[in-house]
């Protein structure tokens, strides 16, 4: 396949490359869109580590100016062999809702190629109870796919739940895909959380870091939208 061509610069006029043209330097393009630095490691870090054949782009919607998390995220990108970028949407404790178009325009700025073999993002209800930015990220990504402003062969949404905070997040029973990480991959994923992000061994983040990763997998925007609709 030929390498991806550049995209027109106007945000409102950007169009994705055709899906037979989603390689760069001979590597298939894959992207991860998450709300915060560390979400990429927590929820799909094992898959990223196990698949270096992809050219990974990992982007976060929040914390670009965080003096602690931002440099740690850049170090994680280096160790994952990925490229990436951060935005700085509001991530205050009040979690005021953000307009979906603002979130979508932020994602478009972070994903310059706009066409991918695989796109990964949060689940429609997040991975634990409750973080509004995770849910907004999911809805925005699905909306961009539906509108044709982003294209992908498959969208994988993180499939975890915490029983309404009654236990640590774990893979949902209705996940389409469940991957138990090998010991080497698991230890490296955990090391990124402790040694690079700096979380203590007994912290919620490290105790949460799942050895089993789960995903809902959609091959069409309509299927992803159906998955993202309100559920019991």
Q: Is the pLDDT of residue 230 over 90?
A: no
Q: Structural domain of residue 205, as residue ranges? A: 19-228
Read off the pLDDT of each residue in 59-88 and give the average, rounded to a whole number. 98
**Dihedral pair phi/psi, residue 60, rounded to 5°:** -125, 145
| Averaged pLDDT for residues 15-23 | 52
Query: In 10 A of CB 198, how many CB atoms?
Result: 12
Q: Does residue 168 form part of some domain?
A: yes
pLDDT tier for residue 61 given thresholds of 50, 70 and 90: very high
Distance CA 199, CA 82 (A): 21
Label the pairing between strands 151-158 and 160-161.
unpaired
- Residue 13: inside a domain: no
Mean pLDDT of the chain: 90
- The span from the CA of 22 to the CA of 87, in Å, is 24
Q: What's the pLDDT tens digit per position in 92-148?
A: 888 899 999 999 999 999 998 789 999 999 999 999 998 899 999 999 999 999 999
pLDDT value at position 130?
Answer: 87
The Cα 22–Cα 5 span in angstroms is: 9
43 touches 127 (CB < 8 A): yes
Q: How many other CB atoms are found less than 10 A from the CB of residue 117?
A: 17
Question: For residue 186, is it within any domain?
Answer: yes
Whether 7 is covered by a domain: the verdict is no
Residue 8 forms part of a structural domain: no
The arithmetic mean of pLDDT across residues 11-27, rounded, is 54
Q: What is the mean pLDDT of residues 175-186?
A: 97
**pLDDT of 18 above 60:** no
For the chain, what is the domain count?
1
The whole-number pLDDT of residue 113 equals: 79
pLDDT recorded at residue 13: 32
In a domain, 99, yes or no: yes
- What is the rounded CA–CA span in Å between residue 46 and residue 181? 6
Q: What is the pLDDT of residue 231?
A: 59
**pLDDT value of residue 128:** 94
Is 91 part of any domain?
yes
pLDDT band at 11 (very low <50, low <70, confident <90, very high): very low
Mean pLDDT, range 200-229, rounded to an integer = 96
Query: pTM for this one?
Result: 0.89
Report the CATH number at residue 203: 3.40.50.10320
Confidence of residue 12 (pLDDT cuts 50, 70, 90): very low
In this predicted structure, the answer to whether residue 43 has a pLDDT above a threshold of 90 is: yes
- Alpha carbons 232 and 24: distance in angstroms, whole number: 41
Predicted pLDDT at 94: 85
4 is a domain residue: no
């Amino acid at each position: 396949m030929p390498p991806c061509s550049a995209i027109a610069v106007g945000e409102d006029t950007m169009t994705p490359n055709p899906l037979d043209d989603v390689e760069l330097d001979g590597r298939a393009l894959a992207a991860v869109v998450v709300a915060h630095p560390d979400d990429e490691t927590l929820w799909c870090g094992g898959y990223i580590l196990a698949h270096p054949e992809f050219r990974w782009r990992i982007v976060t919607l929040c914390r670009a100016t965080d003096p602690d998390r931002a440099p740690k995220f850049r170090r994680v990108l280096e160790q994952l062999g990925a490229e990436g970028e951060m935005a700085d949407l509001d991530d205050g404790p009040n979690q005021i809702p953000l307009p979906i178009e603002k979130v979508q325009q932020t994602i478009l700025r972070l994903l310059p190629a706009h066409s991918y073999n695989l796109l990964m993002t949060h689940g429609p209800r997040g991975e634990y109870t409750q973080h509004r930015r995770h849910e907004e990220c999911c809805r925005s990504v699905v909306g961009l796919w539906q509108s044709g402003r982003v294209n992908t062969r498959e969208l994988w949404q993180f499939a975890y739940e915490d029983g309404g905070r009654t236990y640590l997040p774990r893979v949902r029973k209705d996940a389409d895909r469940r991957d138990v990480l090998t010991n080497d991959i698991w230890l490296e994923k955990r090391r990124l959380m402790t040694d690079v992000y700096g979380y203590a061994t007994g912290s919620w983040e490290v105790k949460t870091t799942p050895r089993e990763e789960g995903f809902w997998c959609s091959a069409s925007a309509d299927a992803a939208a159906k998955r993202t609709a309100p559920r019991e």
